[in-house]
Chain A
């Protein structure tokens, strides 16, 4: 419905843009154009070069070669301020907000010329109302949900009357209902002539929202397509360049004894604006994959830390592993009993960035992999273990001596997940198992989780990616402001039901703005 009119020049056109980083050609002669009022998808896996490309458009990076045209005129975008003056706005994946300040203060801080604060407050209210983005200018940011925080970023862009709005993976932190709401806003903006560049790797979203898609793979444009005319399957193949592996499921229902039991777990957060865990109860049996869904920042990390033993529960009986009370046991002692763990944050939590992969293999592996000879580290054994992880999980690295910090996010993720799975845990707790990895590696990881469960382990998967949980878990529960819902049998759960649980107390605006929020999420 928003076909580009051939007589007017494209709002944005990129020709032959190339960007070289040490060792990586991030963008290789990329061409594409966005028409006025078009919602244009930039589709590709993690590492395909999407972020680099938009950073050049927004002036954060500068191309080595190639031209950028704005309304038909060649321009050079010196910095983000220049981009904003052209009328380019960008909503980043990670927000840059000050938690202790109000919505209005945060908006003013991000603007080049905020003007009078009272006027600005009126304009914020006006814009947020006009686009269905309810915001109270004087609320403190730390009281807001992630979805509301994203609105601040969007409103901040809209106040500058952008002609092109770049959205980088905007839905990864939203509930399904919030996603639908966001799409309504974006459609409204497009109908007013604003072009939208929508970056994602979620195919069903692109089919639901976008007029046109440019597909990137390995830094090159591999295809242009009309998402309506394609199926999710064909776009996935264009994006990945190979047939999607399907994860073979075990026959469900035959679970053994409970291996991980949690009852009445309360834990106050260590951080000022953190989430307190309240009365958490769950039971995971041998052979079961248990999912924990929820919008980011609802206590997932706190729960993981409580289960892994990084913080101790108030009583030993609150957490039991194979019928043994472990609530007061340290992380090391729990590991020796078979509890392995993949935290959400890779750098600095799951791995030490400045240390080699061998040392990082020792980090969590020395408890279970017999890497120690009294106090001495067995160098050869440690290397062998690290190299096995690298080989089995296809970690792309020059060698096991490479520092963890030199690996790309996805590769480090593969290493950490592999390191934990290869320790053959009885209970595995894994947060965001496929965060940042490509589809092929995601399938490998899912398969490994499945295999581990079929061998009798209890697996807990904490993820923000609902599709992932629906695909691999047997049961799942939803965490919201530190409260875990009752477990649902995954095969019987509906996306709407889960979405409402995810919304929880943020549910005041959880009603989809449009009908038909029931997107099919099965890949």
Chain B
């Protein structure tokens, strides 16, 4: 007896769209069993993890707040990923975008002009793009792997932010705490529902996802990105420049990460502090793949990952589950997704070992 893995002759596209849902289902089932074995009430745990956050306006609004940066970054990364441009440094680009827009907010502190927010957005996008242009330049000019450069630059960005909030951008009246002044109203995103933190940036997240979908599906630019990713030789044959697409993929994903950073500091945070993201830039990588690199799928997966953050906190409070449960669920989800993807593309066959049939 021997197990043999062989590619399936025909891969069902429908099944590929179904696997994320299957992965969620399996995650829930596994979580259920896990909680039971740990001695928790599994129904209550699952309820507080997956259901109760969705039952209050507050829970839903928090979901939007957490999903927005994941969706904005996720759709940007997906453009690059489609072209095999692996920007792993969205976290850093987000940080630089936040610094750039935060600097604008602080420079015009107290100003009431309507132009302050748009200017912050422009600065945030440009900041993210500028930061992503470093790996783009190194990749196109010297062939340096963008995975390494973009990832390492993340830590540079985080430390740069610390330098600023411990130094030049520190609030002069802030009792030496490492944080900037609170932004004034003109530099803050409006709240959609009173009493929640849901800001107008969350609406933009959805609009951006739709815009990226149009770009990727109906334009020659999206077409070029897909061809470069799927068949580099065919892209060259058609006269598409790979370097242009590398620049494009990194600049767009960097710019969107910068915008997400802008929305964070102009939205829920309202100032510059040493840590402005709980790892959105990295989680967005999972979001992008869970959403099948498809902008509309990324909206769904962005909400799902946001739910895992909120549900994890909720289950800690309500059922007393350990904090690690969020990470466990995110890991389980990714595991089941990859496993079911694999089984859609390949099948495992049990073959009998043929004994030597010598004549």
Contacts and interface: CB of A to CB of B under 8 A. Distances in A.
Interface of A: 22, 70, 75-76, 78-79, 82, 85-86, 308-310, 330-335, 341, 343, 345, 348-355, 359, 362-364, 366-367, 372, 375-377, 379
Given A349-B237, A362-B220, A363-B238, 15 more contacts: A22-B10, A82-B356, A85-B359, A308-B237, A310-B237, A331-B236, A332-B239, A351-B231, A352-B230, A353-B230, A359-B223, A363-B234, A363-B237, A366-B220, A375-B220
B354 interface: yes
A69 to B, nearest CB: 13
A448 B55 CA distance: 67
Nearest to B219: A375
Nearest to A21: B9
B142 interface: no
Contacts of A354: 230
Interface in B203-225: 218-221, 223
A356 to B, nearest CB: 12
B237 A78 contact: no
Interface in B1-55: 9-10
A377 B219 contact: yes
A352 B227 contact: yes
Contacts of B356: 82, 85
Interface in B229-260: 230-231, 233-234, 236-241
A352 B234 contact: yes
B341 to A, nearest CB: 15
A349 B197 CA distance: 51
Given A335-B239, A355-B226, A375-B219, A350 B234 contact: yes
Contacts of A345: 233
Contacts of B234: 348-352, 363
Q: In the complex, which of the residues B221, B223, B241 has the most CB atoms of chain A within 10 Å of its own CB atom?
A: B223
Interface string B272-309: 00000000000000000000000000000000000000
B114 interface: no
A334 B236 CA distance: 13
A382 B234 CA distance: 18
Contacts of B9: 22
Interface of B: 9-10, 218-221, 223, 226-227, 230-231, 233-234, 236-241, 354, 356-359
A397 to B, nearest CB: 15
A85 B355 CA distance: 13
A237 B9 CA distance: 34
Contacts of B357: 75-76, 78, 82, 85
13 contacts: A22-B9, A75-B357, A78-B357, A79-B354, A309-B239, A333-B239, A334-B239, A348-B231, A351-B231, A351-B234, A364-B238, A376-B220, A377-B223
Nearest to A311: B236
Contacts of A82: 354, 356-357
A236 B142 CA distance: 56
Given A22-B9, A79-B354, A86-B359, A348 B238 contact: no
A341 B237 contact: yes
Contacts of B220: 362, 366, 372, 375-377
B354 to A, nearest CB: 4
Closest 10 CB pairs of A and B: A332-B239, A331-B239, A78-B354, A349-B233, A352-B231, A375-B219, A348-B231, A310-B236, A363-B238, A352-B234
A76 B227 CA distance: 45
Given A331-B236, A350-B234, A376 B354 contact: no
B166 to A, nearest CB: 45
Q: In the complex, which of the residues B219, B234, B237, B239 has the most CB atoms of chain A within 10 Å of its own CB atom?
A: B237
A374 B238 CA distance: 18
Q: In the complex, which of the residues A309, A334, A352, A359 has the most CB atoms of chain B within 10 Å of its own CB atom?
A: A352
Q: In the complex, which of the residues B231, B234, B356 has the most CB atoms of chain A within 10 Å of its own CB atom?
A: B234
Given A355-B230, A375-B219, A376-B218, A350 B359 contact: no
Nearest to A304: B237
B219 to A, nearest CB: 4
Contact of B239 (A85, A330, A349): A330
A122 B45 CA distance: 74
Contact of A349 (B231, B240, B354, B358): B231
A98 B294 CA distance: 40
A309 B218 CA distance: 27
Given A22-B10, A331-B237, A349-B233, A363 B227 contact: yes
A82 B357 CA distance: 6
B214 to A, nearest CB: 9
B13 to A, nearest CB: 10
Nearest to A73: B359
Given A345-B233, A352-B230, A375 B221 contact: yes
B230 A331 contact: no
A350 B233 CA distance: 8
B250 to A, nearest CB: 20
A86 to B, nearest CB: 6
Nearest to A348: B231
A444 B223 CA distance: 31
B237 A330 contact: no
Contacts of B233: 343, 345, 348-349
B231 to A, nearest CB: 4
A23 to B, nearest CB: 10
A348 B235 CA distance: 9
